[in-house]
Structure 1
């Protein structure tokens, strides 16, 4: 189905947020990303649309875009533990396990998961 781009940008911000969430919940990740991309661009100070956009990119295998969005989120909200975890998982999925380890450790520490002492 080739839906015109204007469809994804129609309506108020609240309507587009709801549409993006519905697409995401229906596992229509590419459509969700199209809706959420314009919404996140209009309101970059709002975390929820940006985080859902990153998740939509991740689930639709747009890993470079997911990484970019997650890095932008962490630049603005460095204590967002879910974004740390997602960035780690995104990097792992790209075959960059060594780079991912840092973000996964930070996410685990923020969640209170510390490795047990050996010895």
Structure 2
């Protein structure tokens, strides 16, 4: 069996995107784990893996991955929003609200602003 090449990891990443769109988080994770192992600094792969964990209801793993992304990119509005959703799903509403508000402040998309509950 031949050694994986950088192209192998790109193909795995792209295939994982399609699996996640098809709502197959387990399949996506199987493809993403080697990508993250080989390129742990790759924020896009970590963000996709966090989304797969979230979709698979692996909330602690999702939270950890979103936190890792935010350590590297504190201005990533989507990561704040997704972490907020993860915390909300884990019944940690106060923590979630903080991330929803950060997401809305960084990017005032209607869904981010609505989740932030600025009018509440």
TM-score normalized by the length of structure 1: 0.81
Quick one: distance in 1 between partners of 2:18 and 2:60?
Answer: 24
RMSD: 1.8
Q: Match of 2:36?
A: 40
Structure 1: 5+ residue stretches without partners:
1-9
Q: Match of 2:77?
A: 81
Give the deviation of 1:41 after TM superposition: 2.3
Show CA shifts across 1:1-54 (max 9, x none). Answer: xxxxxxxxx771122112212211221111101211221222122222111111
Quick one: distance in 2 between partners of 1:41 and 1:101?
Answer: 32
Which has the larger displacement, 29-38 or 76-85?
A: 29-38
Quick one: distance in 2 between partners of 1:57 and 1:49?
Answer: 12
Aligned residues: 107
TM-score normalized by the length of structure 2: 0.80
